[in-house]
Structure formats: structure tokens, C-alpha cells
């Protein structure tokens, strides 16, 4: 979601009460999916004193209060078996702030050694970094994963800019991140980005393709969306939600760290 689209969604929410459902994963061949719960406050104004005390304890006992984020479960495809590896909500509730980089590495694993078809020498060597061991057999090559991460970071930074301009409170909202685990589809998605593809045009083409029954159109190798607005409200004059902004800043910092790890893992082959 770009900055303009984020502003449009927030403005639409201010004047509309609706439920909009969309299957965001349907255009991915093998969708890796992560829900990142945002904010340091986990209760709204209508919460009872008992619920407020319980939610405050939950925030303190997890990563929410300190960092503004909690990893609420994710799935990653195992490229060797083609099966989905699920990491449950209990993982996100059990880890500490210092473990978040490991969680991000688990969701964005680097592929094992990839061999060039012309030689038996590795084309890319994956250096062991936190999180990669747990997801051995999964992941995209570093040269594919790095530009996906960098483009994803740009989109989330634009969402952060949009949120900083709106006086509202968001309780229970999330950043939903989906990216393509299928290598060929991920390559096509990167090519689409390099060619200057526009997501809004892609959405229109997708609607036409759905109606005609033709194959999936090309599009980006990932998407990121703000979701879950049931407890979001506009509060004129109160300023932006600092707890949510703190969470988005944490996500950006985690992505910066993972990008550096992925860059370090891309070692040119030796002839």
C-alpha cells in the first residue's frame, strides 16, 4: 500500500462504516503470510477494568509494550516439500524484544545453496544467520529476497508517513505482509516492479482477469496492508497514535537488520 492509498483508506474509514473482505493471498502461488499486531495499548475505551488490567499485563509480558509490535503467527512454504510450515500465535507471545530479529529471519529465510545449471559450484552461498537454521529448506535466494525486502520497507515507510498525519487511535490493528515463495513467480514479480508496474492498474487488470477466467495477471511479488479496524476511531486534536507509530518504526528497524543480513549472505561464486 503506497502513501496515497494509505491516506485514502484512512479518510474513507473516517466517513464510512462497512466491512470489506478480500482474499489477499489468491494471486500468489505460494503465499508466505505474516500478521504483525501494532500498538502498545491493547484495549479500547469500552474495556472493563478487568479487561484493561488483563490487556495491560499481556502487553507487558509480550513484545507489545516495549516495541509496539507482536508477531501473531505466520506461515512459510518449505520449498523442498511444497508444504506450509506454520508458526503459531504462541511463538509471538513467548518471545522477548531481543528475539524479534530471529522472528523476522524465520519469516524471510534465505534459500539454501543454489547451484548454477552449468556448474556444480554454488551460485549463492547462504551464511548461517539467526533464524535461518529453523527454516532450512525454505526461502528465496538472496538476490531475489533483498530487493523484495527493500521495496517492502519503502511501502511501510510510506504507510508510517500517512499514519503520522492522522489523529486517531488504533487498537488491535495489524500490518499484514504477504510475499511470494515460488521462485519463478517471485522473479516475475520483481521484473514487474522493475518495469514500473502500478498496483492500482494491476488491481483493475486482476478484476478483468477474474471475470474472464483467464490466468492471473502479473503483479508485485509482495503486498502489505493495514488491516483490522474494528477498534479504530478518529480523535481530532489528539495527535497520531504514538504506540502504533512506535510499532511501525520497530518493523522498519527489523527490516533494516534483515536486509543487511541478506546482503551479507549473498556471496559471489568462485570459479
Going by pLDDT thresholds of 50, 70 and 90, the confidence category of residue 224 is very high
Q: Give yes or no for residue 216 having a pLDDT over 70.
A: no
Average pLDDT for residues 154-161, to the nearest whole number? 97
Decide if pLDDT at 120 tops 60: no
State the pLDDT at residue 113: 58
Q: Which residue has the higher pLDDT, 265 or 197?
A: 265
Section 119-130 average pLDDT: 34
Over residues 92-115, mean pLDDT: 89
Phi first, then psi: what are they for 228, rounded to 5°?
Answer: 65, 85
**pLDDT exceeds 90 at position 260:** yes
Report DSSP letters for 215-256, one per residue: PPPP--SEEEEEE--TEEEE-TTS---HHHHHHHHHHHHHHH
The mean pLDDT of 19-44, rounded to a whole number, is 90
Q: Which of 10-19, 108-117, 150-159, 249-258 has the lowest mean pLDDT?
A: 10-19
Query: Which pLDDT does position 118 carry in this prediction?
Result: 37
Kindly list the structural domains of the chain, giving each domain's residue range(s) and its CATH number in brackets, ordered by start.
31-111+135-195+220-266 (3.30.470.160)
Q: What is the pLDDT of residue 271?
A: 43
Q: Which residues of 231-240 are buried (b: 16+ CB within 10 A; e: fewer)?
A: bbeeeeeeeb
Q: How far apart are CA 90 and CA 92, in angstroms?
A: 6
Higher pLDDT, 116 or 96: 96
pLDDT value at position 232?
A: 93
177-189 confidence digits (pLDDT tens): 999 999 999 999 9
Q: How many CA atoms lie within 13 A of 256 on its CB side?
A: 7
Cα angle 257-164-21, degrees, rounded to a multiple of 5: 85
Looking at residues 206-214, what average pLDDT do you find?
Answer: 48
Q: How confident is the model at residue 237 (pLDDT cuts 50, 70, 90)?
A: very high
Amino acid at each position: 500500500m503506497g502513501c496515497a492509498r494509505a491516506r485514502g483508506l484512512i479518510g474513507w474509514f473516517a466517513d464510512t462504516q462497512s466491512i470489506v473482505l478480500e482474499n489477499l493471498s489468491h494471486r500468489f502461488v505460494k503465499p508466505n503470510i505474516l500478521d504483525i499486531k501494532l500498538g502498545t495499548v491493547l484495549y479500547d475505551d469500552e474495556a472493563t477494568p478487568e479487561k484493561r488490567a488483563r490487556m495491560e499485563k499481556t502487553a507487558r509480558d509480550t513484545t507489545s509494550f516495549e516495541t509496539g509490535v507482536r508477531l501473531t503467527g505466520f506461515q512459510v512454504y518449505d520449498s523442498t516439500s511444497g508444504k506450509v510450515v506454520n508458526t503459531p500465535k504462541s511463538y509471538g507471545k513467548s518471545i522477548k524484544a531481543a528475539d524479534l530479529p530471529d522472528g523476522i529471519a524465520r519469516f524471510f529465510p534465505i534459500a539454501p545453496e543454489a547451484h548454477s545449471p552449468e556448474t556444480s559450484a554454488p551460485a549463492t552461498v547462504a551464511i548461517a544467520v539467526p533464524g535461518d537454521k529453523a527454516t532450512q529448506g525454505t526461502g528465496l535466494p538472496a538476490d531475489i529476497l533483498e530487493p523484495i525486502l527493500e521495496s517492502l520497507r519503502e511501502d511501510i515507510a510510506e504507510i508510517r508517513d500517512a499514519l503520522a498525519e492522522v489523529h486517531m487511535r488504533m487498537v488491535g490493528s495489524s500490518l499484514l505482509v504477504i510475499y511470494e515463495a515460488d521462485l519463478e513467480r517471485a522473479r516475475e514479480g520483481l521484473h514487474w516492479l522493475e518495469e514500473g508496474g502500478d498496483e492500482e492498474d494491476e488491481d483493475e487488470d486482476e478484476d478483468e482477469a477474474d471475470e474472464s477466467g483467464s490466468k492471473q495477471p502479473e503483479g508485485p511479488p509482495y503486498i502489505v496492508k493495514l488491516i483490522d479496524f474494528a477498534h479504530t476511531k478518529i480523535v481530532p486534536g489528539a495527535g497520531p497514535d504514538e504506540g502504533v507509530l512506535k510499532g511501525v518504526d520497530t518493523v522498519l528497524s527489523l527490516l533494516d537488520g534483515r536486509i543487511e543480513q541478506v546482503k551479507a549472505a549473498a556471496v559471489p561464486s568462485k570459479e
